[in-house]
């Protein structure tokens, strides 16, 4: 393998890793937002039950 091919392979691996990390961060953020929404909904349901029986 020549120097350029090695460099290109390394660049591709770094990009692949970066894309994977970005996806993980997006998924984590999305999951956290969903949990917050679900928690808010559960809180509303609990208030509803307490006030309306």
Residues above pLDDT 70, as percent of the chain: 96
- CA-CA distances (angstroms) from residue 10 to 18, 23, 38? 12, 20, 42
User: CA quadruple 22, 26, 32, 33: dihedral positive or negative?
Assistant: positive
Whether pLDDT at 16 is above 90: yes
Q: Rounded mean pLDDT of 7-36?
A: 90
CA 12, CA 22: separation in Å to the nearest integer? 15
Domains contained in the chain, number = 1
**pLDDT per residue over 31-45, tens digit each?**
888 888 888 888 888
Domain that holds residue 22: 1-52
CA 37, CA 45: separation in Å to the nearest integer? 12
């Amino acid at each position: 393998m020549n120097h350029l091919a090695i460099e290109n392979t390394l660049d591709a691996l770094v990009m692949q890793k970066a894309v994977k990390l970005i996806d993980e961060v997006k998924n984590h953020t999305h999951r956290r937002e969903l949990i917050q929404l679900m928690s808010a909904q559960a809180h509303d349901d609990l208030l509803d039950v307490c006030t309306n029986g």
